[in-house]
Amino acid sequence: MANLLQHLLQRYPALTFAPYRRYWLASFASVGAAQLITLGQGWLVFELTGSALQLGVLGAAASLPNIMMTLFGGVIADRFDKRQILRLTSGIIAVLLLILTLLDFSDLVQVWHVITIAALFSLITGLDWPARAAIYPLLVERYAFMSAVALNSFIWQATRMAIPALGGVLMYIADTWLIFALASLGFLIMFVVISGLHVQVPEATHHSPLQQLRQGLSFIVHNDIFKWLLGLTFISMFLSQSYVQILPVFVGNMGLAEQAYGYLLSAGGIGSILGTLMVGGISGHKPIGHYMFAGTALSVVALMGFVWAASAGLFAAALFAVFLASVCSSVYMIISMTILQARVPDELRGRVMGIYTIGYSLIPLGGLFLGSVAEQIGAERAVLYASSVYLLIALAVWAGKSSLRVLTPGQASTSQ
């Protein structure tokens, strides 16, 4: 056991720093809570309405406020104490989820309650996510920074693997109110831990918030690597990854219950972890652009396989297809995120990586688009058409931007 611990600390030196270690462990609670929220709200809306369109409306509520707030959330993260920002956001979210728990438990909950709280959660995470993306350098020494980034990614992938399956079982046993209660507790834990951390407050800046926002946007627009990778990531989230938002429709069409929904989400989490491990084995001096584009193309092919399997009622095949799609999409996401994290200047990290987090909000927003299309032509065709459009765009970028194909993780940033 001692040798295993020593090996872990050598491989991930960020864990040797007590403030980061406490923050990392608390993040398991809050990130796991975020996974529970997605699971619980989606299933509750589907129970109340049985509508793909209403799931899409939920997706819009869970994304649009975040997108609007994140632009300034990055500026705020670069100007103020990240610890205080995270204390505020964690505390407010815990209270919102407690309200939803009580409404659900008392059978008073209505669709507009769920959508309103989803919108408020989305708005607050527009402050929360950029602060999380910018806080690592304040908790570890520079030499341990990359291990901190890797460990943070592991939290999202591990909770995505475990939480949905567990949540599906809990919903089957005790209904969705328990999901929201546990999620509230997760953010309360984050609030308590963050309150005990000591983080350096950045020096005051003489630039206005709008000037700082323009600086971040200008850096992205004038840097080919950031411009194209962020653009592809956003399109992928909106057209391809957003199928998860209407998964309850596929589950319902197959005549299955909550556990199947949780298993599908967990299969995606397991695939994401495997994809992350695969990327970790790639040499840091080896061109990885081909791996990145192959991953995103194969993820679309696997997603098409999921649609076929779900249409045929083959749950095991659908489960495997979701797993495979997540393996491949994770290869693209981890490689692209590593490239961006290695190249963004420290003074712009909150703004630029805050804008990067907007991509995750485009998943539920894409769910609104898919949900509305699914109401007209069916969920299967909606997912097939949207993912096919993304595949064509990705192939066009791969063919036209040779600079992206020869990227290596350690390559120096170039503005073009």
The CATH number of residue 97's host domain is 1.20.1250.20
CA dist 308 and 313 (Å) reads 9
Task: List CB contacts of 233: < 8 A, sequence separation 6 or more.
Answer: 333, 336, 356, 359
For residue 17, report the phi and psi dihedrals to the nearest 5 degrees.
Answer: -95, 115
In a domain, 12, yes or no: no
Across 98-118, average pLDDT: 93
Answer whether residue 411 is part of any domain: no
Residue 5 lies in a domain: no
Domain count, the chain: 1
Number of other CB atoms surrounding residue 118 within 10 Å: 26
Domain contains 2: no
Residue 412 in any domain: the answer is no
* Higher per-residue confidence, 120 vs 227: 120
Helix, strand, or coil (residue 413): coil
Higher pLDDT, 182 or 78: 182
Q: Which amino acid is at 413?
A: S
Backbone angles phi, psi at 185, to 5 degrees: -65, -40
More confident residue, 190 or 264: 190
The Cα 154–Cα 89 span in angstroms is 22
- The better pLDDT of the pair 93, 295 is held by 93
Predicted local confidence at residue 350, as pLDDT: 73
Is pLDDT above 70 for 7? no
Residue 302's pLDDT is 94
- Is residue 41 one of the residues assigned to a domain? yes
Give the Cα separation of 63 and 205 in Å (integer). 30
pLDDT at position 272 is: 79
> What are the helix (H) ranges across 254-347?
258-280, 289-311, 315-343
Q: Could you tell me if residue 81 is inside a domain?
A: yes
Scanning the structure block, which residue is given the tokens 């209270």?
Answer: 95
Across 304-325, average pLDDT: 91
Which candidate, 351, 340, 346, places its Cα nearest to that of 213?
351
**Is residue 111 within 8 Å of residue 49, measured between CB atoms?**
yes
pLDDT at 406 over 90: no
pLDDT of 5 reads: 63
Residue 139 pLDDT > 70: yes
Whether pLDDT at 372 is above 80: yes
Would you list the DSSP string of 95-137?
HHHHHHHHHHHTT---HHHHHHHHHHHHHHHHHHHHHHHHHHH
Q: Across the chain, what does the average pLDDT equal? A: 81
Alpha-carbon gap, residue 41 to 176, rounded angstroms = 8
pLDDT for res 146: 62
Cβ-Cβ contacts under 8 Å for 124 (sequence gap 6 or more)? 69, 89, 92, 93, 96
Per-residue pLDDT at 416: 36
The pLDDT of residue 148 is above 90 = no
> What residues make up the domain containing 155?
17-405
Given a contact cutoff of 8 angstroms between Cβ atoms, the answer to whether 365 and 67 are in contact is yes
Answer yes or no: is pLDDT of 170 > 70: yes
- Is a pLDDT exceeding 80 seen at residue 304? yes
Distance, CA of 218 to chain centre: 24
Mean pLDDT, rounded, for 64-79: 82
Q: Does pLDDT of 201 surpass 60?
A: no
- Determine the pLDDT at residue 299: 92
Query: What is the percent of the chain with per-residue pLDDT over 70, rounded to a whole number?
Result: 86
Asked whether 62 and 122 are in contact (CB, 8 A), the reply is yes
pLDDT of residue 15: 82
Rounded mean pLDDT, 326-344: 80
Q: Is the pLDDT of residue 218 over 70?
A: yes
- List Cβ neighbours of 273 (8 Å cut-off, separation of 6 or more): 154, 157, 158, 161, 330
Judge whether 10 lies within some domain: no
| pLDDT at residue number 105 | 92
